[in-house]
Amino acid sequence: MKTHIHWFRNDLRLADNPALSEAARAGAKVVCVYILSPEAPWAMGGASKAWLHASLSALAKELSDRGVKLFCGIGDPVRLLQKISEKVKASAVYWNRSYEPYGIELGNKVKTTLRDKGIECHSFSGNLLLEPWQLKNGSGEPYRVFTPYWKAAKKIYVELEPPLRRPSLESYAGELPGFGAVEALKLLTGHPWEKKMLQYWEPGENGAKKRLTKLTESFLKAYPTQRDLPELEGTSCLSPHLHFGEISPKQILSAIGLKGAAESFIRQVAWREFGHSLLYYFPETTSEPLNPQFKNFSWKADSKALEKWKKGMTGYPIVDAGMRELWETGWMHNRVRMIAASFLVKDLLVHWREGAAWFWETLVDADLANNTLGWQWVAGCGADAAPFFRIFNPMLQGKKFDPDGNYVRTWLPELSKLPNKAIHEPWTLSAEELRACGVELGKTYPKPMLDHGMARDRALEHYQALKS
């Protein structure tokens, strides 16, 4: 009987896992491994590590229930996969492709090294509906604007094959020296924040399935109007499950289809695909603007302002509520992400890379492609970007998308007694009115760290200087 290796990457699931299904084909014994590479240039942030620990633990149990062991180790995947192949006398290694710069490089190195040793290598598309090279514009170039990308993509989405079932697995019965259980990866630090954050989530394939079942017809009908209201459960919260591959986008498409109200939701899935396509073709955008003109933008190095923003102490309630939600749960509502990001890069003129780095550290769905896409979009320097002169007004955004202030009250309980009319701009009340609500600006809640109107004018001046 042949022995095959399945190398788990960002595909921590059993269903609709093409590499795992092929590895198990014809009853081959399968060695399931996960390798944490300390050499990865974008080392996972704390939130991602905590999620990964929980997700791998869930995967290990799913495999164990089927008599299969998950082997976890730390080191160079190229060297370790070669070592494992020799140990178990594997004839082939299987994995699902990554489209991030390091992931692409790593996959190519594994193929070159193992094939030189006579070991077959098979990689598959298991994390996207369409691989980046499958969709180009009429000139044969990658799309840089989303709308035409979406129009082209959805024509192909309707023709995709259905997702795969969970395969039957024949386990390798031996041990692997240097490999152990999930704990061997030392992903957790023991900080109370990790446990607190994960209380809001159920990482793993089963948790992803539960999220998917919430995408009922009623949810989808309300989605276009409620997804921008942060006080409601108007979004699916599937993003971390997608990032770690606990569910595939094909499973989502198959479950809800592409007609009627479902189209609005699948459009957001396509934004994720668009981000991966951009990163594939423009890998430098993790640190450099896609629009080269913005290399000369005069950002401010303001560590004090950055810290206030990180801690949710800017004095602008909708921004602070978002930053507190992020620190508490490892997630932030998408509309609020845009508001908070705009405040950092336009009101404070702090470089978008600083914001991207903080999100990378604290988001459970810290996806390199979409984190880069989102921050460059807000900063006005990326593909299909909002123009720089589109500067979100945090008071107006709060009034529009959190009209009753319930989102702000959830994450800023010190403002909970403020009337609706002042919840997004508490400084408009008199000191006496504030005291009656238990608020003293500068003590129980910060005063605005700057005047938004003046900050907007300053940002536009910097933009005009760039254009000149």
Share above pLDDT 70 across residues of the chain, in percent, rounded to a whole number: 100
Average pLDDT over residues 337-360: 98
Determine the pLDDT at residue 422. Answer: 98
Q: What's the topology of domain 128-162+193-281?
A: 1.25.40
Residue 139 identity = S
Determine the pLDDT at residue 42. Answer: 87
pLDDT over 90 at 200, yes or no: yes
Determine the pLDDT at residue 386. Answer: 75
Band (448; pLDDT cuts 50, 70, 90) = very high
**Poorest-pLDDT segment among 41-45, 180-184, 414-418:** 41-45
Give residue-wise pLDDT tens across range 206-263.
Answer: 999 999 999 988 899 999 999 999 999 999 999 999 999 999 999 999 999 999 889 9
Band (425; pLDDT cuts 50, 70, 90) = very high
Determine the pLDDT at residue 100. Answer: 95
Token pair of 5 as six digits? 């290796």
Compute the 3-state secondary structure of the chain and give helix, strand, coil in percent, each to the nearest 5. Answer: 55, 10, 40
Token pair of 236 as six digits? 């699916």
pLDDT over 80 at 287, yes or no: yes
Q: What CA–CA distance (Å, rounded) separates 352 from 418?
A: 32
Between strands 29-36 and 170-171, the pairing is parallel
For the domain covering 3-126, report its CATH number.
3.40.50.620
Residue 29 phi, psi (nearest 5):
-70, 140
Domain ranges of the chain: 3-126, 128-162+193-281, 292-467
pLDDT over 80 at 23, yes or no: yes
For the domain covering 292-467, report its CATH number.
1.10.579.10
Average pLDDT over residues 379-405: 92
